[in-house]
Amino acid sequence: MQTAQQEKRQRGRPFGSVGTKASKLRKIANKLKLLAETTAMEIVQNSLDGKTVDKEQLATAKFTITTAKQFHQAVVAEEENKKAEIDEAREEASIEMEEEGNGRAVFKLHMPRSE
C-alpha cells in the first residue's frame, strides 16, 4: 500500500503540496521553454560557433525562443491578475465582516410583568 502512495507522489505533486492546477497557457509556455532551452539553443549556438546551419532551422529556432519569452510574460501577467483578484476578494470579505460587526441588533429575553 505504501509503495503505491510513494509511486503516486513521484509522478505528481509532492504529498501535502497546496496549489492550483496549471493553466493551459502555463502548460504551453512550459513546452515552449523546454524546446527553446534544448533544441533551439543548440541550433543558435551552432550558428554562433560558425557551423553550417539551415536558414529555416535557424529562423524556427529564433521564433521558438521569442515565442517562449512572450508566453512566459503572458503567464506571469495572468498569474499576477489572479493574485490581485484573490486579494481584492479577501479585502472585500474582511470589509463586509467589519461592517456587519458594528450594527448588530441586541436581543434580550425578559418576561413582561402583567398587572
Q: Distance between CA 69 and CA 39 in Å, rounded?
A: 15
Look at the block and give the residue holding cell 521569442.
66
What percent of the chain clears pLDDT 70, i.e. is strictly above it?
70
13 compared with 92, residue with greater pLDDT: 92
User: Is the Cβ–Cβ distance between 44 and 62 less than 8 Å?
Assistant: yes
Is it the case that residue 1 has pLDDT exceeding 50? no
pLDDT tens for residues 78-113?
999 989 998 888 888 777 766 665 556 666 677 767
